[in-house]
Chains A and B, each alone.
Chain A
Amino acid sequence: MTDVSASTLKGPSGPKPKTVFSSTNIMIYGTLLVVCLYYLLPLYVMIVTSLKGMPEIRMGNIFSPPVDVTYEPWVKAWAEACTGINCDGLSRGFWNSVWILVPSVFLSIAIASVNGYALANWKFKGSEVFFTILIFGAFIPYQVMIYPIVILLRESGDGITNIIRLFDSDASKFRLMGSVWGLVIVHTIFGMPILTLLFRNYFTSVPEELFKAARVDGAGFWGIYFQIMLPMSLPIFVVAMILQVTGIWNDFLFGVIYTKPDTYPMTVQLNNIVNSVQGVKEYNVNMAATLLTGLVPLVIYFASGKLFVRGIAAGAVKG
C-alpha cells in the first residue's frame, strides 16, 4: 500500500492502457499459435509425405518438405493400389462411396424432414413416445443392433425376391444384405434420430399463423409440406446435407458389416490398402490414399464454414 503514493507521484493514474503487445496478449496468441501448429501438423505431414518418393522418405525427416516433388503416389493410390487380389486403386472405393452416399443422403433427409414436420405440426397420439424412443435410440451402441439388422436385411431381401418371382419366375435373387441398397437403408435408419430432431426443432420455430392460414386455405399435409415448409427451410436442408455427407462418407463400421469387398466404401478400402500385411509398405502411397479419402469431408468443411458448426451443434442442443 505504500507504493500507491509513490506511483501517483510518477505520472497519470488509472490502469495502464492496453497495448497490442501486453504480456497477456502475447501469451494468448503464443498459445494459440502453438495449438494451431499442433492441429495442422498431421495434415502437413500427410501432404509432404504423399509428395515424396520412397527413398527420400527412408532417408529423410518426416517434417521436411519434399526435395523432388512427385505425383506418382497419388496416381498409384487412385488407380493401382491393391486390396487383396484387386489392384484398381482407391477409385473403386471412391465411386462405391458416391453410389452409397447419394441415395443415402437423399432418402435419409426426405424421410427425416417429413418425420420432423409431422412431429412439429401434426402431432398425433403417441407421436412423442416414438420420438423419445428415437432420441434414446441414438445412444444405443450400434453393436447391439448390428446382428439383428443383418437378419432383417437378409430376410427382407428374400421376401422381395419372392414377390418379384411371382411376376417373373426367372428373376435373379434380389439382395439387400451385402448390397449398396442395404447400406442405404442402414444409413437412413441411423441418421434418423439426429435429423428428425434437427427438422422437428426447425419446423417448430416456423410461425404457427402461417401453418394455420394454409390450413384455412384448404392445404393438406403434403400441400403445406411442399409449398410452405420446404421452400422456407432450405438452410436447414443444407445443414442436414452437410451433416449426412460427412457422416456417411466417414462411416466405416456399417460399410464393413453390410457390404461385400466389391462394394466396400472408400474408408474400408483405404484401411485395407494401408493395413494390408503383404508387400513393402509404401508410406507415400498410403498417405496419398488417406488424403484422398479425407478430401471430400475436408472440402465440405472448409467450404461450408459456419453451417458445419451449426450441423454438429444441432446434435448438442437439448431436444
Chain B
Amino acid sequence: MALIDAIRTGLGAKRPTRLFKNMSAKIAALPMIATALVVFVGCTLWTIYHSFTRSRLLPAPEKWVGLKNYDRLWGENRWLISIENLAIYGACSLVLSLVIGFILAALLDRKIRFENTIRTIILYPFALSFVVTGLVWQWLLNPSLGLQNVVREWGWTAFTFDPLNNADIVIFGILIAGVWQGSGFVMVLMLAGMRGIDEDVWKASRVEGIPAWKTYLFIVIPMMRPVFVTALVIISAGIIKVYDLVVAQTSGGPGIASQVPALYVIDKMFGSQNLGLGFAASTMMLLSVLVVLIPWAYLEFGGNKND
C-alpha cells in the first residue's frame, strides 16, 4: 500500500512533506471538509445519539434511556397520522409526477410547435416557493369563494370539493398543489431523457408500423430506466422533506389531519420542547431516506463499475 501511495502522490514524495504537498488545494477545500465532517457526519451522529436520551428543554446527553423515545413516538397518534399522510402523499405524488411528467414530455417530444413556450408555462410553478404554492392553492380551494363556489354558480349546486377543511381528504388538497408545483420538473427530466434516445429507434419502430404509444410503452420507457431512477430518487428525497407546503396551506390542520413528519419534528424541537422525541422522529426520517438511497447508490455505483 505504501508503495502504491508513493507512486500515486508522485515519484520521490517523502513522507514528512506529504501533508504539505498541494497545500493551497487542501486549505481551499477546508470549508468542504468541515461541512462534510462537522455538519453532515457530526451533526447527524449527534442527533442519532441524542435520540436515545431523555432530552426535554435542553439536550441531556447523560440521561440515556435506550429506545424509550422511539416507543413513545410509535405510540403517539400524531406521529402515526404523519406517517400515514406521508405514505399517501408520497405514493400518489410519486406516481402522479412520473405519469404526468412522462406524458407531458412525450407530447412535447412529438416535434410540435411552440415547444419552448409550452415548456416554460408548465415549468414556471417550479420556480415558485412552496409557501407561495401553498397559499395560492389555499385560496383556490377556499370553500365559499374558490373553485367550489364557481362550480356551484355554474349550476351544480350540490358540488362539493372542500379538501382543506375535511380531515379525511385534506392530504389530497396538498397533493394537488404539490403535483402542480413539481410535475414540470419531472417533465424536463423526462424530456432530456427522451432526447437522448437514438433517432434510429423511432425509425425502426415506424418501419415496423408500431404505433407511437406502443413504442413509448415498450421501447422508450425501458430505455429510459436511468432517468426514471434519478427522478424517483429526487422526488422521494423531496417528498420526505415536505414541510413549507403543509405549513402554508393548512398548518397541519384541520386538527392534526395533515401533519407530516417534518412538521412533527420541528414542532417537537422548537414548539413543545420535547427534544428527545424530535430527535427520534428525525432519525426515523433519516432511516426512510436510507431505505431509498442505499439500494440506489448500490445499483448506481456499486453493482457495475463500468461507467
User: Are B22's CB and A124's CB within 8 A?
Assistant: yes
Among candidates B36, B127, B140, B230, residue contacting A318 with C-beta atoms closer than 8 Å: B230
Collect the chain B residues with CB atoms within 8 Å of residue A301's CB: 123-124, 127
Could you tell me which residues of chain B, from 23 to 71, have a CB within 8 Å of some CB in chain A? Answer: 24-26, 28-29, 31-33, 35-44, 46-47, 59
Collect the chain A residues with CB atoms within 8 Å of residue B189's CB: 313, 316
User: Are B237's CB and A45's CB within 8 A?
Assistant: no
Stretch from B73-81, B141-149, B164-172 at the A interface: B141-149
Using an 8 Å CB-CB cutoff, how does the interface string of A120-163 with B read, 1 for contact, 0 for none? Answer: 00101101001101101101111111111101100000000000
Given contacts A36-B118, A315-B234, contact A141 B184 (CB under 8 A): no
User: Are A45's CB and B140's CB within 8 A?
Assistant: yes
User: Are A28's CB and B131's CB within 8 A?
Assistant: no
Look across to chain A and name the residue whose beta carbon is closest to the beta carbon of B227: A316
Collect the chain B residues with CB atoms within 8 Å of residue A221's CB: 24-25, 28
User: Are A137's CB and B147's CB within 8 A?
Assistant: no
**Distance of B122 from chain A, by nearest CB (Å):** 5
Given contacts A31-B107, A139-B289, A140-B40, contact A298 B124 (CB under 8 A): yes
- Bound-state CA distance A270–B28 (Å) is 38
Query: Does B99 have its Cβ within 8 Å of any Cβ on chain A?
Result: no
**Distance of B135 from chain A, by nearest CB (Å):** 5
**Distance of B112 from chain A, by nearest CB (Å):** 6
Collect the chain B residues with CB atoms within 8 Å of residue A294's CB: 128-129, 132
Could you tell me which residues of chain A, from 146 to 182, have a CB within 8 Å of some CB in chain B? Answer: 146-149, 151-152
Stretch from B155-163, B214-222, B274-282 at the A interface: B274-282
User: Are A318's CB and B300's CB within 8 A?
Assistant: yes
Query: Does B89 have its Cβ within 8 Å of any Cβ on chain A?
Result: no
Stretch from A74-82, A229-237, A247-255 at the B interface: A247-255
**Distance of B45 from chain A, by nearest CB (Å):** 9
Among candidates B128, B146, B262, residue contacting A62 with C-beta atoms closer than 8 Å: B146
User: Are A147's CB and B279's CB within 8 A?
Assistant: yes
Could you tell me which residues of chain B, from 204 to 242, have a CB within 8 Å of some CB in chain A? Answer: 226, 230-231, 234, 237, 240-241
Collect the chain A residues with CB atoms within 8 Å of residue B118's CB: 32, 35-36
User: Are B122's CB and A270's CB within 8 A?
Assistant: no
**Distance of B3 from chain A, by nearest CB (Å):** 15
- Bound-state CA distance A290–B240 (Å) is 25
User: Are B150's CB and A297's CB within 8 A?
Assistant: no
Count how many pairs of residues, one from A and one from B, have CB atoms less than 8 Å apart in the complex.
Answer: 255
Given contacts A57-B145, A293-B129, contact A32 B240 (CB under 8 A): no
Query: Does B180 have its Cβ within 8 Å of any Cβ on chain A?
Result: yes
User: Are B24's CB and A134's CB within 8 A?
Assistant: no
- Bound-state CA distance A117–B27 (Å) is 12
Look across to chain B and name the residue whose beta carbon is closest to the beta carbon of A149: B43
Among candidates B39, B132, B261, residue contacting A145 with C-beta atoms closer than 8 Å: B39
Collect the chain A residues with CB atoms within 8 Å of residue B150's CB: 61-63
Collect the chain B residues with CB atoms within 8 Å of residue A151's CB: 59
User: Are B244's CB and A267's CB within 8 A?
Assistant: yes
Collect the chain B residues with CB atoms within 8 Å of residue A58's CB: 145
- Bound-state CA distance A139–B281 (Å) is 17
- Bound-state CA distance A36–B120 (Å) is 10
User: Are B121's CB and A114's CB within 8 A?
Assistant: no
Stretch from A5-13, A65-73, A209-217, A302-310 at the B interface: A302-310
User: Are B145's CB and A290's CB within 8 A?
Assistant: no
**Interchain residue pairs A-B with the least CB separation, the first 7:** A250-B129, A137-B40, A122-B25, A221-B24, A301-B127, A148-B43, A252-B244
Additional pairs, 12, CB under 8 Å, beyond known A38-B180, A39-B121, A136-B293:
A28-B107, A62-B147, A124-B25, A134-B40, A139-B293, A142-B241, A144-B47, A146-B266, A147-B275, A290-B136, A293-B129, A305-B120
